[in-house]
Amino acid sequence: MGKLRSSARARALLWAVCVGLVLGALIVIGSRNLAHFDAALVAYTFATLFAAFGITYRYAMWLQRPPTRLYWRRGWQAFFQPRFLARNVAVLARRAVVEVGANRFIWRRSRLRGLAHLGIMWGCLLAAAITFPLVWGWIHFETVPGRVELYRTYVFGFAVGEFPHDSWIGFVLFHGLVWASFLVIAGVMLAFRRRMIDHGAAAVQRFAEDILPLALLLSISVTGLMLTVSYTWMHGYGYSFLAVLHAATVILTLLFLPFGKFFHVFQRPAQLGVGFYKDLGEKSERAHCARCGADFAAALFVADLATVERELGFRYELRGGSAKHYQEVCPRCRRALFGLAQTALWTQEQGRTDGNAAD
């Protein structure tokens, strides 16, 4: 077992190093050998590199767990079935929009949680889509020579368009992080409200998993808005201090990404593959209880569950009878077998007690 763990760590470490090196290379290439890289943002860059390394390492370790590995493999196998590939692509697009993009799985729990999650998710995605390319030097803006009222946008060093700095396009682009902050703050406030009025949530919440992530997101959003207020209406008053404070909150959050609750952001899309695995099970052969003959699950699910249990070191093989493994018995019969086993043990113990009394 120790050798297997060491091998898993080595593979995860290799993946993490490769992803870190690839991202570093893309930063150099995308910024044209760092020509468009802002040296003032170097701390952000190293924080993102560390986050990429840590997220990849943890994700690789997670994928090597027997249940996750099986779901991952079966999900891809189900998706790439030649007969259903076109249909699966359409289903994947629909589920990505409905389940992930619209957060239907959260709305099913409550409207308050749905609104909170939607605001936080899309605010963070919008902020990441703006911040990371700018930090890495993949996108930058320059004034057009001879026309100082125009900005030219460069992506990976290639000019892709121009717009007046006082146009609505410029206003939306240059204030994108402001809109993202408003979304995140609204979502965080709703999440805090739920944690204050929902006694069930308050009873099980933990600071590191439930409060700290929200506090970090709120800190980033508020300090970012304070920067905008400083240079827009206060002539840059306190800007240097606010810039350092904002940088500290962003870097701390990036370093926290691989270790805390934020990691579920990278795990959740894998649920799409689980959906295809379930679809495959519904279309495949059914498993019938070895004791009563009832149809209770897909045969694929039963066989895979038994395989995972063996890989985890759990042995549930049965001796004698029609069932060779405990998973081949339906839930109703399992309850009956449990009762019979308890009765047998009680009868055996009662016999010992009577024998001792006779002696």
The verdict on residue 162 lying in a domain is yes
Q: What percent of the chain has pLDDT over 70?
A: 96
pLDDT of residue 89: 93
147 pLDDT above the threshold of 90: no
Q: Alpha-carbon distance 119 to 22, whole Å?
A: 31
Q: Which residues pair with 295 in a beta bridge?
A: 288
3-class SS at 151? strand
- Per-residue burial over 227-244, b if 16 or more Cβ lie within 10 Å, else e, is beebeeeeeeeeeeebbe
Q: Are residues 297 and 261 in the same domain?
A: no
**What is residue 84's three-state secondary structure?**
helix
H or E segment to which residue 164 belongs: strand 158-164
Cα dihedral across residues 117, 123, 129, 133: positive or negative: negative
CA-CA distance, 252 to 81, in Å (whole number)? 43
* Spatial distance between the Cα atoms of 56 and 258, rounded to a whole number of angstroms: 8
Let me know if residue 79 belongs to a domain: yes
Is residue 279 included in any domain, yes or no? no
Mean pLDDT of 203-209: 82
Convert the pLDDT of each residue in 256-299 to its tens digit: 999 888 898 898 888 888 888 888 888 888 988 888 888 888 88
Q: 123 and 262 share a domain?
A: yes
- Do 155 and 299 fall into the same domain? no
- The reported pLDDT for the residue numbered 18 is 97
User: What's the domain range around 293?
Assistant: 286-358
CA 207/CA 55 separation, integer angstroms: 21
Lowest mean pLDDT among 126-135, 225-234, 268-277: 268-277
- pLDDT category at 3 given cuts 50, 70, 90 is low
**Whether residue 307 sits in one domain with residue 249:** no
Sign of CA dihedral 285, 288, 294, 298: negative
Question: Whole-number mean pLDDT of the chain?
Answer: 88
For the chain, the domain total comes to: 2
Q: Would you say residue 202 has pLDDT above 80?
A: no
Whether 217 is covered by a domain: the verdict is yes
- Is 20 in the same domain as 60? yes
